Structure 1
């Protein structure tokens, strides 16, 4: 029996992870065939064990291990790995790099769930066409998919990028971010000297 197609989603925004997971599940892929990580180090460690067929990753331009480097490392262990990229900054140079690595798409953030759905659907169709061994699985899985609910899809907000140690402003005062936590549906921040977790949307880079 053919193993299910596996997807690895690596993005610092919890909303992107959630949308991607829900989208793939709505296309008929089982929950345990989708793995989400918030950074490339976790993506590499988990990906080498998970052995995904398809990587959807942020560009992570400032990380020690960028999204493209993550793809290259995972591809050494999984030669047939497919790639799609997400980035707040899309330049002609990045488009050329993405194309050189064979990326199915480079989608500019912030984007709507509908835009991600369109790009992923095209990618899965191309995957079925270009990978004969996976053609039947992709075709059958998408054929059995439940129709998407007819509701307005939310827009992914352009959340500020805040890391531990960064200076931020909260209620007009300057603070220092101590911890950044990505949990289901939102990102929250622990500020030094402030009790409780603050939603990322309530902070401004300071």
Structure 2
């Protein structure tokens, strides 16, 4: 049985697509040591590329498309932190970055973590410490390759959240896969969520103006006439908007996140009168989404979308 299990594990590893690892260090000796440690371990198929500094690494990103970058900190031209910050600024949030470095300053390390660094290992390092961090990173890469999970934990979790908002007011939550930005009536109440300690956004939440009126009216326990008036005019009352904002804040608790990852909170919510290009392109994605219609007898129908970034 043990032999069969081992054979099965080998077959599963053989069927895995290679993951791409970019090693960035101005010491060729350190590059070789890191590559040798990873090649000697049972980490599945890997492809490697090497860079001498952050500038060269950023050029390689577009051609090599790394899943994981293992970088030194102090390098000529562009440092490891500057490289990481540039990756995030150009929207490459999916690339995992870890550091193997002599840097120990807490202020600098905090900057790295806030920009999404997944590990920092100090030189000289133990092989087992590097392998432990890289193994966890590669497992996360393989999981991500299957496609992002929906933005929300489940329809049931959203249903419970809406019920707590609407209390005794009946409603129907209807999945709306494939809805586009034009399906959501303007203006939109747009929320951005972040994980604690991170600068990059974790997810977006969008309520169209009808959903703001409905969730706001339900949260304020309003009778149907004022809600229908707000829907017909496209202008929710301040009380409705306050309740809609409260709903979006509470939705942070049901956003999908990896086990053990930091809690997600609402960073900002704004009323958007005109959609911008980045939001339009995100709404064209068909993965990492949770889209619904909300129908309330006597009120009307609104739409919402949550997008995992």
- TM-score bucket of the superposed structures, by smaller chain: 0.5 to 0.7
TM-score, length of structure 2 as denominator length: 0.37
Match of 2:86 in 1: 73
Which has the larger displacement, 35-44 or 68-77? 68-77
Equivalent residues of 1:58, 1:67 under 8 A apart: yes
CA distance in structure 2 between the partners assigned to 1:90 and 1:9 by the alignment: 20
1:46 aligned residue (33, 37, 60): 60
| Residue of structure 2 in register with 1:103 after alignment | 117
Whole-angstrom distance in 1 between the partners of 2:92 and 2:17: 14
1:45 is paired with a residue whose SS is: helix
Q: Which whole-Å CA distance do the structure 2 matches of 1:83 and 1:92 have between them?
A: 18
| Contact kept? 2:23, 2:50, Cα under 8 Å | yes
Matching residue of 1:192: none
Q: Structure 2: how far apart are the matches of 1:134 and 1:94?
A: 32
**Structure 1 residues not aligned, in runs of 5+:** 136-206
Is the contact made by 1:7 and 1:54 (CA closer than 8 Å) also made in structure 2?
yes
1:22 to 26, 33, 36: 36
**1:16-53 CA distance string (max 9 Å, x none):** 212322233332223xx211112222222222221112
CA deviations on 1:67-87 (whole Å, 9 max, x unpaired) are 122123345264411110122
**TM-score scaled by structure 1?**
0.54
The aligned residue for residue 293 of structure 2 is none
Which structure 2 residue ranges, 5 or more long, are not aligned? 1-14, 149-309
CA distance in 2 between partners of 1:92 and 1:52 (Å): 27
Contact kept? 1:10, 1:57, Cα under 8 Å = yes
Aligned length: 131
The alpha-carbon deviation at position 126 of structure 1 amounts to 4.1
Q: The residue matched to 1:15 in structure 2 has which SS?
A: helix
CA contact (8 A) 1:11 1:17 kept: yes
Structure number with bigger Rg: 2
Partners in 2 of 1:23 and 1:84 — Cα distance? 15
**1:13 Cα shift?**
2.1
Q: Is the 8 A contact 1:127 1:134 kept in 2?
A: no
Change in Cα spacing, 1:13 to 1:99, as seen in structure 2 (3 Å) is same
Q: Is residue 103 of structure 2 the alignment partner of residue 89 of structure 1?
A: yes
Shift in Å, 1:59:
1.0
RMSD over aligned Cα, in angstroms?
Answer: 2.8
Summarize deviations over 1:66-108 as a string: whole Å, max 9, x none.
2122123345264411110122121211221121011111111
Contact 1:84 1:106 in 2 (8 A): yes
Residue 57 of structure 2 is aligned to residue 64 of structure 1: no
Q: Which residue of 2 aligns with 1:13?
A: 27
Task: Write out aligned runs for 1:1-206 (5 A).
Answer: 4-25=18-39, 26=41, 27-30=43-46, 33-60=47-74, 63-75=76-88, 76=90, 78-128=92-142, 131=144, 133=146
